[in-house]
Amino acid sequence: MSSFIMAIDQGTTSSRTCIINQAGGLVAEAREAFKQIFPKPGWVEHDPEDIWYSTQRSMRLALEKAGLKGSQIRAIGITNQRETVMLWDSQSGKALHNAIVWQCRRTQELCEKLKKNKKEKMITAKTGLVLDPYFSATKIQWLLKNVPNAAKKAREGRALAGTVDSFLLWKLTAGQSHKTDVSNASRTMLMNIHTGWWDQDLLKLFGIPERILPEICPSNSDFGVTQGLGFMPDGIPVTGIVGDQQAALFGQTCFDVGDSKCTFGTGSFLLLNTGKKAVKSKNKLLTTIAWKLKNQEMIYALEGGAFVCGAAVQWLRDGLGLIQQSSDIEALAKTVQTTEGVEFVPALTGLGAPHWKPEARGVICGLTRGSTKAHIARATLEAMALQNVDILNTMQRDLGKKLRGVRVDGGAAANDLLMQMQADYCGANVVRPKNLETTALGAAFMAGLGAGVWKDLKEIKRVWKVDKEFKVKMATKERKDRLQKWAQALERV
């Protein structure tokens, strides 16, 4: 029987498909970018048809590159940008509006109103989340209130709502399956993370009928089978769904309590496995569900995210024109030894954990006549690492102990200079795996577990390999001084 797994990794700026073999090796990869839509300052949207088209195209291209037929795929796993939501017509399959992206801040006033009405404490107790426009509930509320006929269709049972995973599953199965997994559901601000079900109090608070939401399932469930795709046969099972950051934690084989990972993508996201205990953060981190395997207990995690990480490099490239391509930043930053006092706080879409300042905006300061684009490039890399230090230090305070080390992944993890900065500023060793695409690998591992390619977590651990370990080189006093300057820069936003 074939043991090739197709992992769909639907991200913020592109849709990607990876073909993974039983040894955990990447057989082929294909990526298709799609348009970002910015209707107003602070608003971010995607066209759901662009998401679906780019996903299909990446699936076809990955099969071609691998030299495989669709019938050779044993199972499909889906991982996705998590809080992004959409509303679609269950009869026509057409979206009722563009998807509202996780970065979008349009519902800030709704969140502020709920805070004034003293609802945040209840929301956090049930969901582990802070009350912020980042999460899905207020986005769905906005769609139902502002899209013509959306509320009417929802009442009639014609409208369906979901995060990207459930939309893709619905499309892959020709509308036969409207499901999601616990990790994605835990990011909506509508699920009670202690029960694992949609919460009636929250649904009432946000005015969202449960009937439009997907069924919540374990992450390695039998979610449905392909139907009507054309380029793949009917009947290929989808046996894994997991949100992108939880997928990376799973793909890094962070199966034990205290294991942590940092993914460098559009934003940077750190997750720490807390096992069967939902640890309540005293320092504004999120308590989230990592995953739930069939017939097993829920596994929880602490999470902190910086909204802009790799996106800061893209902004230097596209917004300022300082570099031709993103990979140029390391060489440019290496041409100077320090930033010469230049600081960049990349709060281009607000500040995430542990600050939670949605109104914050980016700042470049400390400029002199001697400042060059190299100093700004280096300041950008340093900021990417320093944002993560804020989160890691917060995690350590919540745990009451120092982290053993951090596993890293995502595109920017290939940048040796950035990884050494991360180790030095954290004061903890950074471990980079051979396969940096651990988000897709996590989806493949989850689907493979669901389909029986791997029988348990021990088998999966055996296929994970280390590429390089970055050891701490910076002295404690130097680290302390650098973090103090960063704190001063944060006060400016």
d(Cα 62, Cα 177) in Å, to the nearest integer?
Answer: 24
Highest mean pLDDT among 76-80, 286-290, 300-304, 454-458: 76-80
Q: Tell me: the pLDDT tens digits for 391-430?
A: 988 888 887 777 778 999 988 899 999 999 999 999 989 9
Q: Are strands 4-10 and 14-20 parallel, antiparallel or unpaired?
A: antiparallel
Q: Is the dihedral of CA 484, 378, 101, 225 positive or negative?
A: negative
d(Cα 79, Cα 8) in Å, to the nearest integer?
Answer: 6
pLDDT of residue 157: 86
Residue 294 CB coordination number (10 Å): 13
Question: Contact at 8 Å (CB) between 164 and 16?
Answer: no
d(Cα 464, Cα 87) in Å, to the nearest integer?
Answer: 38
User: Is residue 48 classed as helix, strand or coil in its secondary structure?
Assistant: helix
269: pLDDT confidence band, cut at 50, 70 and 90? Answer: confident
Q: Tell me: the pLDDT tens digits for 226-241?
A: 999 999 999 999 999 9
Residue 267 CB coordination number (10 Å): 24
Q: Tell me: the pLDDT tens digits for 309-356?
A: 888 999 999 999 999 998 899 999 999 999 999 999 998 888 877 887
Q: Which residue has the higher pLDDT, 308 or 241?
A: 241
> In the predicted model, what is the mean pLDDT of residues 247-272?
90
Residue 235 CB coordination number (10 Å): 9
Residues 6+ apart with CB under 8 A from 474: 424, 425, 427, 482
Question: What torsion do the CA atoms of 266, 61, 8, 306 make, to the nearest 10 degrees?
Answer: 0
Alpha-carbon separation of residue 329 from 32, 291, 335 (angstroms): 23, 35, 10
Distance of CA 198 to the CA centre of its chain: 21
pLDDT of residue 116: 94
**CATH architecture type of domain 4-244:** 2-Layer Sandwich (3.30)
pLDDT of residue 1: 58
Q: Tell me: the pLDDT tens digits for 338-351?
A: 999 999 999 888 88
Which pTM was predicted?
0.88
How would you classify residue 64: left for phi > 0, otherwise alpha for psi between -120 and 50, otherwise beta? alpha
- Percent helix / strand / coil, the chain, rounded to 5: 35, 25, 40
Q: Which helix (H) or strand (E) holds 263?
A: strand 260-264
Q: Which helix (H) or strand (E) holds 120?
A: helix 120-127
Residue 319 CB coordination number (10 Å): 10
Q: Could you state, in order of their start, the residue ranges of all structural domains in the chain? A: 4-244
Neighbour order of strands in the sheet with 99-100: 45-46, 99-100, 85-89, 159-163
